C-alpha cells in the first residue's frame, strides 16, 4: 500500500493520516486556539493541500482555531489570517487525491529546488544568514528561503503554465517517491527553470516569519 503524507509527515495508511488530523481537533475545545507548535505546523501543511489553498491562505495564516462545523455536529479547523479574516476549511477536502494542477505545482517546486538550495548556500558562504525582514541573525536549522520580496511562487508558476498551454499541457513522470514527480519534457523543464530564475526574487526569513506568509 502506498504511503501518504501531510507536508513532511509520512503515514502508512490514509486512515492513519486522517486520524492525525482528528487527534488535533479532539485536543481543543470549540473556539480554542491551536497553541501547540506541532499541531499548528501540521494544520499549515494540511491547508496547503487544499485544492483552493491560494484563496484560503490569502495574505498568510496567523493562527488556527477549532470550531464547530456548519451543522454543529463535529469539530473543524479555522484559519485566522494575518489581516484578521477567518476562513473555515474542510480537512477532508485537503486529504482528497490531488488534482493534476496540484501535482504539476508540486513538480514545479521539485524542479527548481536546486536553485533554491544554491541561493541558500550562496548566502551562507557570504555570511549573510540574516532575516531580510528584521535583520536578525538566522540559524541554519531555522532558515527558510522565501518569495516575500517579489511575486509568489504560485503566481510565477501560474504565469508559466499559461504560457506553456495550460496545466494539462504539462506531463509528469510517475511519483515513485513523495514529491519526486518531474516534467517528462525536459526542454519544457529547462524553460521552467529559466522562467523561475528570471522572475523569482528570493530572500531569507526565520521559519516563524515565513509561516505567517502565504505558502501556496
The upper half-sphere exposure of residue 104, i.e. CA atoms within 13 Å in the direction of its Cβ, equals 21
pLDDT tens profile 32-86: 999 999 999 999 999 999 999 988 998 889 999 999 987 767 899 999 999 999 9
pLDDT tens digits for range 157-196:
999 999 999 999 999 998 766 657 999 999 999 999 999 9
Domain ranges for the chain, please list them. 4-94, 100-211
Q: What is the mean pLDDT of the chain?
A: 92
Predicted local distance difference test score (pLDDT) of residue 179: 59
Burial 121-136 (b: 16+ CB within 10 A, else e): eebeeeeebbbbbeee
Q: Above pLDDT 70, what percent of the chain?
A: 95
Domain 4-94 CATH (choose: 3.10.450.40, 3.30.2130.10, 3.40.50.450, 3.40.109.10): 3.10.450.40
216 has pLDDT over 60: no
Cα 161-166-169 angle, rounded to 5 deg: 100
pTM over 0.95: no
Tens-place pLDDT, residues 159-168: 999 999 999 9
The x, y and z cell numbers of residue 157, run together, are 508558476
Does residue 22 surpass a pLDDT of 90?
A: yes
Confidence category of residue 104, pLDDT binned at 50, 70, 90: very high
Is residue 57 helix, strand or coil?
Answer: helix
- pLDDT value of residue 2: 60
For residue 190, give the 3-state DSSP assignment.
helix
Confidence of residue 1 (pLDDT cuts 50, 70, 90): very low
Confidence (pLDDT) at 212: 78
pLDDT greater than 50 at residue 125? yes
pLDDT single digits (tens) 23-42: 999 999 999 999 999 999 99
Contact at 8 Å (CB) between 181 and 107? Answer: yes
Amino acid at each position: 500500500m502506498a504511503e501518504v503524507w501531510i507536508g513532511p509527515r509520512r503515514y502508512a495508511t490514509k486512515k492513519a493520516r486522517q486520524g492525525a488530523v482528528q487527534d488535533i481537533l479532539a485536543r481543543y475545545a470549540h473556539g480554542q486556539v491551536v497553541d501547540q507548535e506541532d499541531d499548528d505546523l501540521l494544520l499549515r501543511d494540511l491547508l496547503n493541500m487544499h485544492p483552493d489553498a491560494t484563496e484560503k491562505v490569502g495574505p498568510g495564516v496567523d493562527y488556527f482555531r477549532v470550531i464547530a462545523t456548519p451543522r454543529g455536529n463535529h469539530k473543524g479547523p479555522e484559519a485566522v489570517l494575518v489581516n484578521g479574516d477567518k476562513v473555515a476549511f474542510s480537512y477532508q477536502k485537503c486529504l482528497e487525491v490531488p488534482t493534476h494542477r496540484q501535482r504539476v505545482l508540486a513538480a514545479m517546486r521539485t524542479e527548481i529546488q536546486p536553485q533554491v538550495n544554491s541561493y541558500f548556500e550562496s548566502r551562507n558562504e557570504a555570511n549573510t544568514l540574516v532575516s531580510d525582514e528584521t535583520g536578525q541573525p538566522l540559524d541554519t536549522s531555522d532558515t527558510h528561503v522565501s518569495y516575500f520580496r517579489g511575486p509568489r511562487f504560485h503566481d510565477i508558476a501560474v504565469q508559466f503554465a499559461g504560457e506553456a498551454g495550460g496545466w494539462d499541457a504539462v506531463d509528469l513522470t510517475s511519483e515513485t517517491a513523495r514529491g519526486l514527480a518531474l516534467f517528462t519534457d525536459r526542454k519544457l523543464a529547462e524553460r521552467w527553470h529559466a522562467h523561475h530564475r528570471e522572475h523569482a526574487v528570493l530572500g531569507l526569513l526565520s521559519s516563524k516569519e515565513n509561516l505567517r506568509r502565504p505558502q501556496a
